[in-house]
Chains A and B, each alone.
Chain A
């Protein structure tokens, strides 16, 4: 269970991009968050995944208040989340082969012994063929790289998956394939999902419930039109 209460966040305290946002993600729930680009929904997604410290407000993970963010957050809180971003090229270390990219969180948490098994499993689950696993990001397409980023997000078996515009750059078939992989994972594990995006048709089809940004946060007075 993840609760955000009155979260205000941004990159400049005088001009927060998120104002007093509140939402609750129940265990196993798939919640869509719909809003135009630039509205602040990506920043809120980063706060929710413990990647960005808010300026104000409370975040409760299974009832426990979160006090630290990013690498300072306790490991068991941090690893509760799997995150996939819009642009796989910005989210993937260009030096790593796809297999190492997927295995990165296992290595970082000292679970090297699980690497071969988990990488094979997840490559299959996300539709990556073995020959792609030895390539580096510049040698694969955006769609293939995003499949690897999803595999990486699932590798520690997160309880909560945050997908921030995961499919915005992708074609219809790759979109359907990635969403199907997420849903298969959720069926197997009961994980919850926060899917942030701008495509209502997609979020309505994918999620149990879709909230519009203005139902979640206060609008900015100086919001661009």
Chain B
């Protein structure tokens, strides 16, 4: 048997919003990445960089005025060309479980967590019958560390952390191989952020056939959970890196990634100067140039994602395959 390929393969994914008056917003441009089973990829970047649009594209949840290009293969299915019927019947909940940004808004306000879980389980799994569904709902709650004695509560009666767990239980109900978490820690306290990402991590470790794509602007959360990171700026992925190397030594290679980490309060706490560009009005060359300390005239040309970084002057040269030092070792 051949080794299974990546669970999700994204190639040349672009999303354009067509605005009244003929304006085009380049929300995502030429994204290329993979997510393998058993791993967690964190897609990081500032708000408005296009990362949430990318998530919506994978789930087929983009508004009508959009154009997409490229492909996003989940097994044998291209998510970008699959119709709404296929996505609704076979993908959402079954092959991709969505853990939303504001779980309280995602849960139906007038119904208890139990009834929502039972309904989802009945829809996504073969479980039938009141007693069996009740038991399955309790098991599903337990898997997401949702306390069974809170199952009969309504969403507004839950704390932020418990609402997040209820949403996770729903996302896991159909046992999907890919979990997609869109800013799952927004508005949560630090200890709760840590607990939430640790729990997400456990769902990947408990089942190595499962993978997690987490979209976040929270670098500390990404550091805690990710195996790899993809950094997005102005709609493009500008760096793909191993998480340990990115957050530790030798550190990121793209000047924007450097700037992001340097902004953290436990690092230099220095902001990146300036503001991100408008996605409707991107320059022809590197979109980071106006804010970049390393920019020069060559940066008026768009840097391709060569290897793992899209930059003409990355912070550190790539490690050569064999140097005299490591050849001797």
Contact = CB atoms under 8 A, between A and B. Distances in A.
A96 interface: no
Contacts of A142: 47
Interface string B114-136: 00000000000000000000000
Given A127-B275, A144-B275, A172 B159 contact: no
B274 A202 contact: no
A141 B278 CA distance: 10
A168 interface: yes
Contacts of B47: 141-143, 170-171
A115 B265 CA distance: 34
B151 to A, nearest CB: 17
Given A176-B269, A224-B159, A169 B263 contact: no
Interface residues of B, number: 29
A127 B274 contact: yes
A37 B163 CA distance: 14
Contact of A201 (B48, B189, B265): B265
A14 to B, nearest CB: 19
Interface in A150-177: 168-177
A198 interface: yes
Contacts of A57: none
A38 interface: yes
A199 B190 contact: yes
Given A143-B46, A206-B265, A176 B271 contact: yes
Contact of B271 (A36, A169, A177): A177
Interface in B271-285: 271-272, 274-275
Interface residues of A, number: 30
B217 interface: yes
Contacts of B191: 36
Given A171-B47, A173-B46, A198-B189, A205 B259 contact: no
Interface string A35-47: 0111000000000
Interface string B200-228: 00000000000000000101100000000
A23 interface: no
A224 B38 CA distance: 35
A175 B263 contact: yes
Contacts of A25: none
Given A143-B46, A174-B46, A169 B186 contact: yes
A198 B270 CA distance: 20
A94 to B, nearest CB: 18
Nearest to A147: B275
B264 interface: yes
Interface string A130-142: 0000000000011
Given A129-B275, A180-B271, A202-B265, A37 B46 contact: no
Contact of B46 (A127, A171, A179, A201): A171
Nearest to A143: B47
B221 to A, nearest CB: 11
A205 B272 contact: no
Nearest to A172: B263
B265 A205 contact: yes
A169 to B, nearest CB: 7
Interface string B244-278: 00000000000000011101111001111011000
Interface string A175-204: 111011000000000000000001111101
B270 A176 contact: yes
B192 to A, nearest CB: 8
Nearest to B268: A176
A153 B160 CA distance: 29
B189 A37 contact: yes
Contacts of B314: none
A128 to B, nearest CB: 8
Name the residue in B45, B159, B160, B190 with the highest tally of chain A Cβ atoms < 10 Å from its Cβ. Answer: B190
Nearest to A181: B271
A141 B48 contact: yes
Interface string A20-43: 000000000000000011100000
B293 interface: no
Contacts of A199: 190, 265
A36 B189 contact: yes
Contacts of A179: 269
Interface of B: 45-48, 159-160, 186-192, 217, 219-220, 259-261, 263-266, 269-272, 274-275
Interface of A: 36-38, 127, 129, 141-144, 168-177, 179-180, 198-202, 204-206, 224
15 contacts: A141-B47, A143-B47, A143-B48, A144-B275, A170-B47, A171-B217, A172-B217, A172-B261, A174-B46, A175-B271, A180-B270, A200-B190, A201-B265, A205-B269, A224-B159
Closest 8 pairs between A and B when the two form their complex, measured CB to CB? A177-B271, A176-B271, A172-B263, A205-B265, A176-B263, A198-B189, A171-B217, A173-B263
Given A127-B274, A177-B271, 12 more contacts: A36-B189, A36-B192, A141-B48, A142-B47, A144-B275, A171-B45, A172-B263, A173-B271, A175-B263, A176-B269, A199-B190, A224-B159
